[in-house]
Amino acid sequence: MTEPACQLYLISPLDVGGMFPDRLARALDAGPVAAFQFRVKNVDEHEAARLAEPLLRICADREVAFIVNDSIALAKRLGADGVHLGQDDGSVADARARLGKAAQIGVTCHDSRHLAMEAGEAGADYVAFGAFFPSSTKDTKHVAEPELLSWWSRLFELPCVAIGGITAANCAPLVTAGADFLAVSNAVWGGDEAEGVRALNAAIAGAAG
CB 191 within 8 A of CB 143: no
Report if residue 64 sits inside a domain.
yes
Q: Please report whether residue 50 resides in a domain.
A: yes
Q: Is residue 174 part of a domain?
A: yes
DSSP 177-188: HT-SEEEESHHH
Amino acid present at 21 = P
- Binding-site residue ranges: 37-41, 69-70, 89, 108, 135-138, 165
Inside any domain, residue 2: no
The answer to whether the predicted template modeling score (pTM) of the entire model surpasses 0.85 is yes
Domain coverage including residue 163: 7-208
Is 1 within a domain?
Answer: no
- Reported as type and span, the H/E element at residue 116 is helix 113-122
168 DSSP 8-state letter = T
Q: Can you tell me the distance from the alpha carbon of 199 to that of 119, in angstroms, rounded to the nearest whole number?
A: 32
Q: Is residue 118 in some structural domain? A: yes
Report, as an integer, the average pLDDT of 5-9. 94
Domain CATH number, residue 100: 3.20.20.70
* Rounded Cα gap, residues 3 and 159, in angstroms: 9
Fill in the amino acid letter for 142.
Answer: H
Q: Could you tell me the pLDDT band of residue 3, with boundaries at 50, 70 and 90? A: very low
Domains of the chain: total: 1
Summarize pLDDT for 174-183 with one digit per residue, the tens.
999 999 999 9
Annotated binding-site residue numbers for Mg(2+):
70, 89
